Amino acid sequence: MRYGVLGTGMVGAAIAGKLVALGHEVKMGSRAAGNEKAVAWAAEAGERASEGSFADAASFGEIVFNCTSGSGSLEALESAGADNLRDKVLIDVANPLDFSEGMPPTLFVSNTDSLGEQIQRAFPDVRVVKALNTMNCGVMVDPDMIAGDHAAFICGTDEAAKSQVRELLGQFGWPSARVIDLGDIGSARGTEMFLPLWLRMMGVQGTGHFNIGLLTAARELEEG
């Protein structure tokens, strides 16, 4: 399959690299074709890898990943172009982190709205699925690095799109039982608002190589 990956940072490189390793064709997109990091990545990643503008990557991909920084995501997607994204599955990995006041970051949208919803509203013909934004990029593409039944969440209003994302996450190494469908794109509020807790847990762990699991009843309970 052909994938467009918007963003040249650590998340984009991790996702794009994994997709190439799985045998897919990947075009990494950035503000303008010829971005230094994208060119270096494509040269390193081999013949199935290429780079171009956001529009080039969106046009190329049958499925598109948004791995841009949250604060630049809407602008990047505008640049990618609604026509190039139309009817496609857009996997939104970005978080609305605001570093303008230093660490820890706050969220520039939360509580009554989310970046996932903003993107879905701005691009109503795109099938947005929020996914993988609750973990470090190493864990996203190598879930076996974490022991135990840890979880990935998917949020989106298009059921068929979520099925496609679940299948792709399976290729990444996520058993279907650990991919938790939280519901419509409004549930992106939940996964984005998890970030402040994630950041504190990272501080405690001293690494981003952890994840949460959803653990359930050990025994029959008298009350539901």
* Interacting residues with a second copy (CB under 8 A): 106-107, 110-112, 138, 144-150, 153, 180-183, 187, 189-191, 193-194, 196-201, 203-207, 209-219, 221, 223-224
For the CB of residue 174, give the shortest distance to a second copy in the complex, in Å.
14
State phi, psi for 202 to the nearest 5 degrees. Answer: -60, -40
**Continuous segment of H or E residues that includes residue 199:** helix 195-205
**Which CB, 25 or 181, lies closer to a second copy?**
181
**Which CB, 83 or 98, lies closer to a second copy?**
98
For the CB of residue 50, give the shortest distance to a second copy in the complex, in Å.
26
**Which CB, 25 or 113, lies closer to a second copy?**
113
Nearest to 207 by CA among 131, 147, 153, 135: 135
**Which CB, 89 or 185, lies closer to a second copy?**
185
Using H for helix, E for strand and C for coil, what is the string for 92-117? ECCCCEECCCCCCCEECCCCCCCHHH
Maximum Cα interatomic distance, the chain, rounded to a whole number of Å: 63
- Long-range contacts formed by 216-221: CB under 8 A, 24+ apart: none
For the CB of residue 195, give the shortest distance to a second copy in the complex, in Å.
8
For the CB of residue 11, give the shortest distance to a second copy in the complex, in Å.
15
